[in-house]
Amino acid sequence: MKRVLVITYNFPPINNITSKQWGELVSYMPKFGWEPIVLTTCSRGNLSVSIPEGNIIRIGEHCDSNKVLVEEEGLRGIPLYLKPIYFLYKKLRMEIWSIDRFLFTWGREVLKYKESIKNINPSALVATCYPPVDIWLGFLLSRNLRKPWIADFRDPLSLWNNSKFPLIKFFDKQIDKFLVRNVNLITTAGPSIARIMKNFYKKEVKIIYNGFDSKVCIRENFKKNIQKKIVYYAGRFHSHRLPAVNLFIDWLAGNKEREISLVLRSIGPKESNEEILNYARQQGTIDKVKLLSPASINTVYQEEEKADALILFGDLKGSLPFPEGNMPGKLFEYLPLMAPIVVIARKDSDMGSILKITKRGYLVSDDKELDAAMNNVLTDHSLNPDWAEINKYSFESQCKNLCNFLDQITNLYEK
C-alpha cells in the first residue's frame, strides 16, 4: 500500500468543516490503496477520530481548542507581539492572504521535525487550505522529500484579496503562484472556482467536493412537525452570510401568522450572533428566532433530522470575490437527509446546480423566490430526490476520486 502525507491544520477532534471533511476522507483511503499519515495539530473537540492515532502526527496546539464559540474573526493564533501589527494590517486593508499568521507559529514548529517527517517516506503529499500554512508546508516538505504533491484549496488565497492597494494584490499573487509552481495537481471544491484557478495558476485543476458521511443517512426517519415548523441551520456566521440571514428574517416578519421557528445553532463569531438577534428585534420576529449555543455533531444531526427545512446562507450580495464559486461544506452534509434544502445565495451560485442535479431543494435570491420555496416546503411539496446522484457526493466517492488523482501523479512522477 502506498503512503500519503496529508497536511491539514484542522483535523478531528476539533469540530469544523475542514476537520470533518479530512477526518472522513482519510478513513476511506486504505480501501483505494493508500495509507494516510496525517500531519496536524493537537486539538480538543467532539468529532471522532476515524484512523489510528499511530497514523497521526500531532504538533502544536490548535488555536480554537480552548474555545467552543468563536468570539472574533481574524486575530486567532497570532503571537502577542504580532497582534498590534496585524490589527493595523487588517484595518488598512493591506493583507497578503498568501502569508499566513500560522506560518509564524505552527509552521515554524512543524519544520523543526522535518527530518523525522522525512522518515515517513510517503509516495505523495496532499496539503489542504484553509489556513494557508498547509500550502506553505506542502511546498517546503515536498521539496525536502522530493515527492509529488497536491495542493487542495477549499478557499482561494490571493484570489480573495480585496486590498485597496494594487501593489499589495500584485505581491500576494506572486507569492501565491510561487507556492504552487511545482505542484503536480490542484484540487478545489467546485466548478466555478476550478475554472478560475486553472486560468490563474496555469495548472491542471480537479474537483473534490466536501462530501457527506453516508453512515448518517436517515431518510426513512423523516417526520414533519405537526405544530410549529422548524427551519434549521448549525454552523458559523461569517459576515458575508448576514445579508442572506436578514432576508429570511424579513420573510419571517411578513409571515408572523405562521407557526415557524428559525433555529440557529451558531459557533460564532459572537458579533454576528448579536447582529442577527438585533435585526430580529428590529423586525419584530425575535420570538421566531432561536439562537442556540454550540453542540456536538451528534446533537446537530439529531436536530437536522427533526427540521422541516434545512437552510443555508450563502454570499447573497457578492461580498466575496467570485461568490458564484462559494460552496459551503454544510450543503453536502444536508444532501443525505430528507428535509428539503433552501439555499439563499446569488442566482449564479454553483450550489444551485448541485440542488438541481440531486433534486434536493431550492436556490433563492430574493423575497419572491424565498416565499415560493417556503410555501412549497411548508405545504409538503414533494421533491423526489435522486439518491443515485446524491451518493456521488459521499465522502467515499470523493475519496475514490482523490486516490485516483494520487495514483496518476505518482505514476507520472515515477516515470
pTM, full prediction: 0.84
| Residue bearing cell 420555496 | 373
What's the pLDDT band for 78 if we cut at 50, 70, 90? Answer: low
Contact 273, 291 (CB under 8 A): yes
- Which of these, 238, 239, 90, lies nearest to 168 by C-alpha position? 90
Segment 356-365, tens digit of pLDDT:
999 999 999 9
Closest CA to 242 of 281, 285, 278: 278
Q: Is the pLDDT of residue 90 over 70?
A: no
Q: Which residues in the chain are classed under CATH 3.40.50.2000?
A: 2-211+394-414, 214-391
103 φ/ψ sector (left φ>0, alpha ψ -120 to 50, else beta): alpha
CATH T-level assignment (fold) for domain 214-391: Rossmann fold (3.40.50)
Q: How many whole angstroms from its chain centre is CA 407?
A: 25
In the prediction, which pLDDT does 65 show? 58
325-372 tens-digit pLDDT? 788 889 999 999 889 999 999 999 999 999 999 999 999 999 999 999
| Model confidence band, residue 81 (pLDDT cutoffs 50, 70, 90) | low
> How far is CA 298 from each of CA 15, 27, 159, 290, rounded to the nearest angstrom?
11, 19, 35, 19
Q: What CATH number belongs to 2-211+394-414?
A: 3.40.50.2000
CA separation for the pair 97, 94 (Å, rounded): 9
- Mean pLDDT within 224-248: 86
CB-CB contact of 381 with 12 (8 Å): no
